[in-house]
Amino acid sequence: MDSAHTLIIAGIRIAINCKHEGLSQALYRKYQPFFTRGNSAFQVKITWDHTASLIPFITPEISFQKNTIQLSSAGFTGSGDFARKLGELILEVANPLDAVDYFIRVIYALLSYEAGGIMVHGAGILHNGSGYLFCGHSGSGKTTISRSSVNEEVLNDDLVVLLPDENLWRMYSTPFWNPTQVVPKQLGAVLTAIYYLIQDESVYAEPMKPGQALAELIANIPIISGNPDHSIGLIERGKEVFRRVPAYRLHFLPDDSFWRVIDNRSG
């Protein structure tokens, strides 16, 4: 894989140039539905030294500066310069695919924000031509909701991108997943509603107050929410989402009965 292979998520492109052939091929297999041909303004250069003393990848610390980020942990050195549209990652870890995947997520979280949108922890599902976003903390049921939706198209059950489009918001899939999750598809849909998940013994939905919905949304935005300089911008962006999109708490069982509740509310 070389810079001619461009990763595209929500219409946002980055070119990935990996100097290690085996890792390059592994990345191509993992992200294959999301690769396209053509150029990209944002370049990511990846170097993996497999001859070094290799250690397990651990999540790096991130520091933000104007137009740049730095990421660092043992065997992991990454940077992103958004003015120069250049990212660089140097690795000496035993599991480089996980490390690269994390770095690409960070880059896309910031590029999505620059594009006027946000990357959100949530399950995005296409149902009857409309997009629904299901959010909640880890273990709240995003993967359960997705696996129960056997007749629907699952965009992703972990991370999706929301972007504004005139008077509405669109939701897009990402290629970020692990083997315990539903394999994502390259899809997009108009965002119709956001549901915050509560596992319960009965199935029903209740409208949320705007302040509650906003707080829940921000809690499910990775990377960007860790930068104090983005705090005001995130709040305003969340308000823009909820001016167009309603939010509910969804009490659900581990089956597809919640769709009847959603259909009744939508109708």
Residue 47 has pLDDT above 60, yes or no: yes
pLDDT-derived band at 267, boundaries 50, 70, 90 = low
Which of these, 62, 60, 52, lies nearest to 92 by C-alpha position? 52
DSSP per residue, the chain = --TTEEEEETTEEEEEEES-HHHHHHHHHHHGGGEEES--SEEEEEEE-TTS--B---PPEEEEETTEEEEEETTEEEEEETTTTEEEEEE-BS-HHHHHHHHHHHHHHHHHHHTT-EEEESEEEEETTEEEEEE-STTSSHHHHHHH-TTSEEEESSEEEEEEETTEEEEEE-S---TTSPPP-S-EEEEEEEEEEEE-SS-EEEE--HHHHHHHHHHT-TTGGG-GGGHHHHHHHHHHHHHHS-EEEEEE-SSTTHHHHHHHHH-
Q: Residue 23 and residue 94: Cα distance in Å, rounded?
A: 11
Q: Residue 197 and residue 80: Cα distance in Å, rounded?
A: 34
Residue-wise pLDDT tens digits, 200-237: 999 999 999 989 999 999 999 999 988 888 889 999 99
Amino acid at 156: N
Residue-wise pLDDT tens digits, 155-212: 999 999 999 999 999 999 999 987 777 788 889 999 999 999 999 999 999 999 989 9
Q: Residue 131 and residue 122: Cα distance in Å, rounded?
A: 12
pLDDT for residue 2: 45
pLDDT for residue 94: 95
Instruction: Please give the model's pTM, rounded to 2 decimal places.
Output: 0.94
Residue-wise pLDDT tens digits, 66-121: 899 999 999 999 999 999 999 999 999 999 999 999 999 999 999 999 999 999 99
Asked if residues 91 and 46 have their Cβ atoms less than 8 Å apart, the reply is yes
- For residues 36 and 70, the model is more confident at 70
Mean pLDDT calculated for residue range 52-63: 94
Domains (range + CATH), the chain: 5-114 (no CATH), 118-266 (3.40.50)
pLDDT for residue 5: 81
Looking at every residue in the chain, the average pLDDT score rounds to 93
Amino acid at 70: Q
pLDDT for residue 156: 92
Residue 152 has pLDDT above 80, yes or no: yes
Asked if residues 158 and 176 have their Cβ atoms less than 8 Å apart, the reply is yes
